Every structure is written in C-alpha cells, then in structure tokens.
Amino acid sequence: MGVYFLLCVLSPFINDYINSLDKERKKKLLVIFSVIAVLYGFIFDWDGVGRGYTFLHGLFMYYIGMLCKKNKDDLPRRKLLYSGVYAGSALITAGAAYLAYRASFRGMAWTIYSYNDPLIIIGAVALCLLFTLWDSENAIAKFSSGISKYVLAAYFITVRTSVVFLPVKKFIEAGRSQAVIVLSIIIYSTAVFFICILIDKGRTALFSFLNKVFHLEDLYESICDRCGRSARV
C-alpha cells in the first residue's frame, strides 16, 4: 500500500521529469529499469529490489504505463495480439508454477508469481496496451476502471495471507477435498474483496469530510504549483 500511496503523491513530479526526457533517454531509462527489476530483482533477489514489492518496481511499471499510453499510435492496433500475449504469458506462468509445486519446489512456485517475473511484466504490458486501445465506454474497460481503485483487497490477499486466509486454512486442515478447498478460496477471496470495497467507501467518505474541513486538495495543488515553479527556475 505504501508504494501506491507514494506513486499517487509523487506522480506530478514523476510526470514532469519523464516528459522532460528525449526519446533516446527514455529508451535508456527503460533498459535500466528492466535490468534492475529482472536481473537484480527477479534472478538475484538483491536487497532493495526484492521480488517486485518495492517502490522502485512500482515506479518501473508506472513508467511502462506512461510509455504505452504516449506511444500507442506507433504500435500495432491489434487487440487480438495483445490479448493473446497476455493469455499466453498467464498460462505459461501458471503452468510453470504448477509444475514447480508438483515437483515439491514450493518456494520456486511462489517466486514464479513475483511481480518482476519477466513473463508477469510482459503480460502486464500487453494488458496495458489492450486497455489503451479500448474505448473508455467499452464494457470491460468501464468495469475494470470501476473496481481498480479497490487495491486494498489485493493488498490484503497477497501480503497478509496468514491473517486473511486463516479461516480457509482451518477449513483445509479439516481434510476437505481439493475441489471444495479451491471453491472455498474463490468464495472467500470474493467476500474479502467486497468487504474491502466497503472499507474504501468509508475511506472516501472520511477523505471527503476532511477535504471540506481542511481543503486538502487545494493545499496539495498549491504545493505542486510551487514545486513546479521552483523546478523551472
């Protein structure tokens, strides 16, 4: 959650810096980010880079998203191509993780699902390009945009699994069949997601109240304007 928060706060300054780069420097920055994320992060798991759970990787994916949006007119406009790349990378990743798990390499199975796995990144880029080609009124795009802000659910499920999935763990320990266990995980995850939506609704109401009292948005815009003027000077 800290990564999302930092990106939201710093995005105006990140945008200004990236927009100031020429085409060649943007390419170099992309190569640097890719080497750090994949080579040092995924392969060597260096401290500070990790498995993609860092601000650095969040910044990397934010940068890729910016490049996709700004250069979409120069790329093939074939939705089927990007859909195929996304589906293919997802299937390969899932297959590799399943084989590793079945071979008793459970640690490796989880590692394959790291955010900075090259296949995960490729799939994310393909999906990002797919969304840039979809019209904003597209049913899938509207649905995804509507639920994308509820990232708290993803945080709960991927980071606090020991707490969130404690009821499911107890259910598994009771010796249920694999099909029942999988179904219970899906149902429970969906329930957690909708609970998180309610939490976010509360957060929105609280922020709206605080904004009316303290004028937080005006304060934030004022800080951004001052920093922008200072950078130009």
**What pLDDT digit, counting tens, does each position of 113-172 carry?**
888 888 988 998 888 888 777 766 667 777 776 676 666 656 665 566 666 667 767 766
Please tell me the chain's helix, strand, coil percentages from 3-state DSSP, rounded to the nearest 5.
Answer: 80, 0, 20
Read off the pLDDT of residues 41-68 as tens digits, 9 standing for 90 and up: 787 777 666 677 788 888 888 898 888 8
Contact (Cβ atoms closer than 8 angstroms) between residue 65 and residue 130: no
* C-alpha span between 13 and 224 (Å, rounded): 8
